[in-house]
Chains A and B, each alone.
Chain A
Amino acid sequence: MMTKFLMLLMLLGGSLMAGATLDAALIHTLANGESDEKIRAIQDLGALATPEAVLVLKSLSDDALFVDGEHVFYLNGDQAIDAVTGLALTPIPESSDNVVINNRVRSELNTALSSLKLFDPKPSVRRKAAEALLNDVSPDMLPVLTKAVAQETDAGIRELLLLAVAQINLGSPEASLRLSAVQALENSSSPNARNLLTILLDPAHEPVEAVRRAAQASLKSVDNRLALSDALARIFSGISLGSILMLAALGLAITYGVMGVINMAHGELLMVGAYATYVTQGWFRLHWPQALEGYVLAAIPVAFLSAALVGVILERTVIRWLYGRPLETLLATWGLSLGLIQCARLMFGAQNVELTNPSWMSGRVALPWGLSLPWNRIDIILFSLFVLALVWVLMNKTRLGLFVRAVTQNRAMAGCMGVPTGLIDTVAFGLGAGIAGLGGVALSQISNVGPDMGQGYIVDSFMVVVLGGVGQLAGAVWAALGLGILSKFLEGWVGAVIAKIILLVFVIIFIQRRPQGLFALKGRFVDN
C-alpha cells in the first residue's frame, strides 16, 4: 500500500519535475538543521503540499534522505534525485550520510505526511484521510486544510474537509467565524464534532448567546444523525448475526423436524465446514496460487459435501439406532461431538487456524448517514439468503422435499404411502449436516476457526429452532433475525454478557407461553 502510494507520487512527480523546484534553504535546514528547525521545515514543506515536497518528506520518513556536502538527495531506483531541483544527480555522490531524525521530529513528520494524504491523486485515499481527520483534528492544520478545500474536486470529500475546517473554527476568537462553524457542523456525524459542540453550550466557554443557541440546534441534529446511524449499524449487525444463526439453525430445523432428534454435534458440523474451507485454502495455496482469491467459492461445495458425508456416517452408524429415544440421542450425539472436537484437535492442532479473507471480502463500503459496513458481513448475508432460497426450493418444489415434509408431519402415514422413511432420514440428516457445513464456510470468514468453535452455537441455534417452531423454515428465519437484532440492541444497552442472559431467559419464558414456537404447525397431535 505504502509503496504503491510512493510509486504513484513518483510518477506524478516525474511529470512535473522540470518546472517545480523546492526552496533550497528549506531543504538544507531540513537536512542539516537542529530538531526545532527541522520541525519548522517539515511544517513548511507540508504546507506547500506539492508532490515534490511529499516525496522528500516520505524519503525522510523512510530514512532514505541523504546529504552529501551541498547536495540533499533521495534514491529512486539506482538514480539519486536532488531534493531541491528534482533532477537526477550524475554521478551518484560517493560519500553521503542519511539524515537522522529523533522521535519528536518523526511524530511531527507523521502528522505532516498524513495530512498530505489529503492531496493524494486517488479520491479513495483522500476520502479516508478526510474521514480520519474528522475524528482527530488540530488547529495547526488549518492552512493545509484550507488549501485542500480549495483544490478538492470531489464534492463529498470537500464536504468532509469543510466539516473539519468548521471543527477548527469552533475555537476561533471571532464570534462570527464560530457561528458559521457551528452552523456548518449541523451536517456532521462525527462524535468529535458532538463533543466540541457540547463544550460550546457552556456560557463559561462561549460568551455569545447566538452562538450558544446555534450550537444547541446543531447539536440536536448531530445527535439525531448519530442516533440514526447507530441504530442502522445495530440493525445491520443484528441482521448479520441473524444470518449466521439462520445458517446454523436451518440444518438443525430440518433434522429436528424430521426425526425429532436434537443433534448435539450440529455445532461440530459447522466446524467441519470451517475446516474444509481451511483445507481448500491450503490446497489452492499449494497447487493453484493464482486463483487463491476464489478459494472461498470453491470451498462452498467442498464444505457442503464433507459435512454432509460426516452427517450421513453419523446417521447410519449411530443415530439410526436410537430413533424413538430422543434423550439417549442427545447424549450419544454429544459423545460424537466430543469425538469430532478431539479429531479436529489432533489433525489441525488445538490452536485456531488462520484463514485470510479474499480481497473481495475485505474492506468496508461507505454508505450515507455515516455508516460503513464490512464487505464480509454483507457477503455472508447474501450467502445466507442464497442458502435459504436453495433450501426453500429443495423443500417445497422437489419430490425429495415433499417426502421430507411428509415424514416430518406423520412418519407412519408417510411410510404407508410408500415413502422410504429410512432413506429420507439419512438424506435429510445429510442435508442438514451439509447446510451446517455451509454455515461453517460463512463462519470461517468472520470468526476464529478452532476445534471448539462449534460448541457455542448449539444452544443458540436450538433457541432459534424452538422459537421458530419445530420443522418450520419460515419460523427459523424470523426467529434468527429477531434474536440477532434483539441481541445486538440489548448488547448496546447492557453489555454482551447480560444481553445473552436476558435472551436466554426470554426464550425460556417464551417456551413456557408457547411451547410450539412462533409458527406452530396447525393440527392435532398426540404426545407420547
Chain B
Amino acid sequence: MRTPLLFRTLALFDTTGWIATGLFVAIMLVLLPLLHLALPEQSPFYVSSYVIALLGKILCYAIVAVAMDLIWGYGGILSLGHGVFFALGGYAFGMYLMRAIGHDGVYQSDLADFMVFLDWKAYPWYWSGTEYILWSLVLVVAVPAFLAITFGFFAFRSRIKGVYFSIITQAMTYAFMLLFFRNETGFGGNNGFTDFKRILGIPITSPGMRVGLFMLSGLTLLMTLLLCRYLVTSKFGRVLTAIRDAESRVMFLGYNPLWYKLTAWTISAVLCGIAGALYVPQVGIINPSEMSPANSIEIAIWVAVGGRATLWGPVLGAFIVNLAKSYFSVAFPDYWLFFLGSLFVVVTLFLPDGVLGLWKRLRSRVRRRT
C-alpha cells in the first residue's frame, strides 16, 4: 500500500517542525526581502544590502550543512572534503559568470582577464558551452556528482570508513586546492573568478538581483530540508541509519551498503554543488582557498554545533557559527580562532547532540520537574 505523496509530505515534520518551517519561510522569504526592497534607507527597519548579502551567504552554508548532516548524521560518514563539491559547483557557475562579463573586463577581450594575462588565445575545451547558463547549471550538478560517484564508488567498495575515509577526503580536497592554485589549470589560479557583472543581462549588484538570489537560496534550503527529511524518513534512510550503527549486521541482513552510502554521498555532494553555485554570485568571488582543508572541517562543526541527525540543527549551527564569525572577525579578530577552536572541543566534549540536543535535554528536565 502506497501512502499518497501529500500525506507523506505532511508527515515529514511534526507540528514543531512545521511551525519552524513556517517561521523560516515567513522571515527569509517574505519579511527580509520586503524590508530590504520596500522600505526607504532611512527607516529604522530597513535591512541593508550588507545584511542581505551576509544572510544569503549563510543560507548557502546552511544548505551545505544540511547536506553534510545527511551523510554524517545519518550515514556516519564524516567527510572532511565537502568544500571541494561546494567549490566545484561554484566554479561551474562562475564559468558562466565569467563569460557573462563579455567585453567589460579590464582587457576588453572575449577571453577572461586571467586568460589574456596568461596570453591564451582561446577558451580551453572544458570551457565550451559555459556561455549558456543552462549548460553551466548542468555542470553545477554534474561535476560534483561525477566526482562524488567515482570517489565514493572506489572508497565505499573497499569499505574504507571512519577516520581513514575522513583523511582521504581531506587529501582529496587538498589535492584539488593545489590543482586549482595552478594558473595552467585554467580557472584563474590564486585569484579565481571575480568581478562578475551580470546574470542573464541583469546587473549582479542591483537590489532586485540581490534579493532574487537571496530568496532563491532560502528556497533551495527549504527544498533541501524537505528532500533530506523525505530521504531519512523513507526506507532508504532507515537502512542508511542502520549502516551507520552496525554496518556488518546490515550486510548480514542482505543489504549492500555500497549503494546506500553512494547514493547518500552523491546527493550530498550535488546539494553542496548547488549551494556553491548560489554562493558565488552573492559573494562575488570564488577562489581555491574555498577548497582548503580548514574550510571543509568547519562545515563539520556547523553540523556538530547544531546537532547531528536533526537536519534543522545544522541550519541553526551554520547561522550560529557564521554570525559569530562575522561578529568576532570585526570585534576581536585575534580571538576568533580561539573561539572556533574551543567550539570544536566544547561541542565534542559536552554537547554531543549540539544545541538542539541541549534544548531537548533542558526541556525534558523542566517537564520532569513539573
A residues with CB within 8 A of B? 260, 262, 318, 321-322, 325-332, 334-339, 341-342, 345-346, 455, 459, 462-463, 466, 497, 500-501, 504-505, 507-509, 511-513, 515, 527-528
Contact A339 to B171, CB < 8 A, known contacts A466-B164, A512-B154: no
The stretch from B194-202, B266-274, B310-318, B332-340 touching chain A is: B332-340
List the A side residues contacting B191 at CB < 8 Å: none
Q: Are B158 and A512 in contact (CB-based, < 8 A)?
A: yes
B133 CB to nearest chain A CB (Å): 31
- Chain A residues with CB under 8 Å of B187's CB are none
The answer to whether the Cβ of B162 comes within 8 Å of any Cβ in the partner chain is yes
**Count the A-B residue pairs with Cβ separation under 8 angstroms: how many?**
119
Residues B161-204 near A (CB distance < 8 A): 162-164, 166-168, 170-172, 174-175, 178-179, 181-182
B297 touching A334 by the CB < 8 A rule?
yes
- Once the chains are docked, how many angstroms separate the CA of A170 from the CA of B157? 64
Using CB atoms, name the residue of chain A closest to B171.
A504
B348 touches A332 (CB 8 A): yes
Query: Looking at the complex, which one of B171, B178, B304 makes contact with A331 (CB distance below 8 Å)?
Result: B304
Q: Chain B, 223-238, contact with A by CB distance < 8 Å: what is the 0/1 string?
A: 0000000000000000
Q: Are A511 and B168 in contact (CB under 8 A)?
A: yes
B297 touching A511 by the CB < 8 A rule?
no
Q: Please, could you name 13 A-B residue pairs with CB atoms under 8 Å apart, sorted by A?
A: A262-B163, A327-B162, A328-B348, A331-B301, A335-B301, A335-B345, A342-B338, A345-B337, A500-B175, A501-B175, A501-B178, A505-B175, A508-B171
In the complex, A508 Cα to B166 Cα: how many Å? 12
* Cβ-defined partner of B181 (8 Å) among A339, A455, A497: A497
Chain B interface helix/strand/loop/mixed:
helix
Whole-angstrom CA separation of A339 from B337 in the bound complex: 6
Count of chain B residues with Cβ under 8 Å from any Cβ of A?
47
For the complex, what is the distance from the CA of A509 to the CA of B155, rounded to whole Å?
9
In the complex, residue of chain A having the shortest beta-carbon distance to the beta carbon of B303: A331
Task: Return chain A residues, CB-CB under 8 Å to B179.
Answer: 497, 501
Verify if B344 is at the interface (C-beta below 8 Å from A). Answer: yes
With A501-B179, A507-B171, A508-B168 in contact, do A339 and B341 touch (Cβ < 8 Å)?
A: yes
B229-282: which residues lie under 8 A (CB-CB) from chain A? 246-248
Contact A528 B338 (CB under 8 A): no
Measured in the bound complex, the distance between the Cα atoms of B349 and A321 in whole Å is 7
Contacts of A507 in B (CB 8 A): 168, 171
Residues on B with C-beta less than 8 A from A322 are 348-349
A512 to B159, CA, bound (A): 8
Contacting residues, chain A, for B340 (C-beta < 8 A)? 335, 338
Residues of A within 8 Å of B105, CB to CB, are none
Q: Does B300 sit at the interface, judged by CB under 8 A? A: yes
Q: Is B293 an interface residue when CB atoms closer than 8 A count as contact?
A: yes
B293 contacts across to A, CB distance below 8 A: 459
B-side contacts of A342, CB under 8 Å: 334-335, 337-338, 341
A528 pairs with B248, CB closer than 8 A: yes
| Shortest Cβ distance from residue B300 to the other chain A in the assembled complex, whole angstroms | 6
* Shortest Cβ gap from A347 to chain B (Å): 12
- B246: which A residues are within 8 A, CB to CB? 528
Known contacts A327-B78, A341-B337, A342-B338; is A463 also within 8 Å of B171 by CB? yes
B295-309 with Cβ < 8 A to chain A: 297, 300-301, 304
Query: Contacts A335-B344, A527-B248: A330 and B166 contacting too (C-beta < 8 A)?
Result: yes
Q: Which of the residues B80, B159, B349 comes within 8 Å of A332, measured between beta carbons?
A: B349
Asked if B352 CB lies within 8 Å of chain A CBs, one says yes
B48 / chain A contacts, CB cutoff of 8 Å? none
For residue B217, give the distance in angstroms from its CB to the closest CB of chain A. Answer: 26
B108 sits at the interface (CB 8 A)? no
Most buried by B among A262, A328, A330, A345: A330
